[in-house]
Amino acid sequence: MIRVVVADDHPIVRGGIVALLSAADDMTVVAEASDGLEAVRLAAEHAPDVVLMDLRMPGLDGDEATARILAATPNVRVVILTTYESDASILTAIEAGASGYLLKAAPQEEILAGVRSVARGEVALAPSIAAMLVQRVARPAVTLSPRETEVLALVAQGSSNPSIAAALFVSEATVKTHLLHVFEKLGVNDRTRAVTRAMELGLLGR
């Protein structure tokens, strides 16, 4: 019997997940959480086999909750179940130690099979996530340095190079250098496209 804690901030979605798992002969839902912090607390309290958790929740997101759950209860395995998110957020969850990443758009049988795999100690990835990881290994992702990200975020707010320089207590030449590095990394030629491209890649918040 696979013991599961379910965490999702949408009650109607959580209801659907609980109903699906409860109908399976080999699973039982031992607790339900509506945010990341509650998921961490219930995992510690119930020591389930699997925490099945959304990624985007109020307060504490699923990736941070994953890290905390695994730090506190290393025998628990975490499966992320979410709508498609950016490559960057998927990778953050996997780097945090999630053993599975499943999509809500998947057929119900695929979600059940994923939970079972993870309970057996395997890794379960939705096919599109697996494909993304394969591609990522073949061609490592673009990353921006913290400073580059900081400068680009100010660009996205409409700041000019001189005003960014003033805000960050550096010279315009420094701002410009950071931006040129960003353009190189993202393969773009101007600030506006850099912003939209970074958003597409999940490197800049929306």
> Which residues lie near DNA (CB under 7 A)?
143, 145-148, 160-162, 165, 168, 170-174, 176-181, 183, 189-192
**Nearest to 119, CA basis, from 22, 49, 67, 40:** 49
Q: How far is the CB of 19 from its own copies (least distance, A)?
A: 5
Count, residues near its own copies per rule CB under 8 A: 35
Q: DSSP characters for 131-181?
A: HHHHHHHHSPPP---HHHHHHHHHHHTT--HHHHHHHHTS-HHHHHHHHHH
**Is residue 205 a contact point for its own copies (CB under 8 A)?**
no
- Under a CB-based contact definition with an 8 Å cutoff, are residues 47 and 93 in contact? no
Q: Which does 37 bind (CB under 5 to 8 A by kind): its own copies, DNA, none?
A: none
- Under a CB-based contact definition with an 8 Å cutoff, are residues 37 and 68 in contact? no
Q: Which does 118 bind (CB under 5 to 8 A by kind): its own copies, DNA, none?
A: none
- Of the candidate spans 36-44, 122-130, 169-177, 188-196, the one that interacts with its own copies by CB under 8 A turns out to be 188-196
Q: How far is the CB of 148 from DNA (least distance, A)?
A: 5
Q: Which does 9 bind (CB under 5 to 8 A by kind): DNA, its own copies, none?
A: its own copies
The residue written with tokens 């499966």 in the block is 79
**Is residue 196 a contact point for its own copies (CB under 8 A)?**
yes
Q: Rounded to whole angstroms, how far apart are CA atoms 70 and 108?
A: 26
Q: Rounded to whole angstroms, how far apart are CA atoms 31 and 178?
A: 48
Choice between 17 and 42, CB closer to its own copies = 17
Q: Give the footprint of its own copies on residues 127-156 (CB under 8 A).
A: 155-156
Q: Give the footprint of its own copies on residues 58-117 (CB under 8 A).
A: 81, 83, 104-108, 111
Q: Specify the pairing of strand 124-125 against strand 50-53.
A: unpaired
Q: Which does 138 bind (CB under 5 to 8 A by kind): its own copies, DNA, none?
A: none
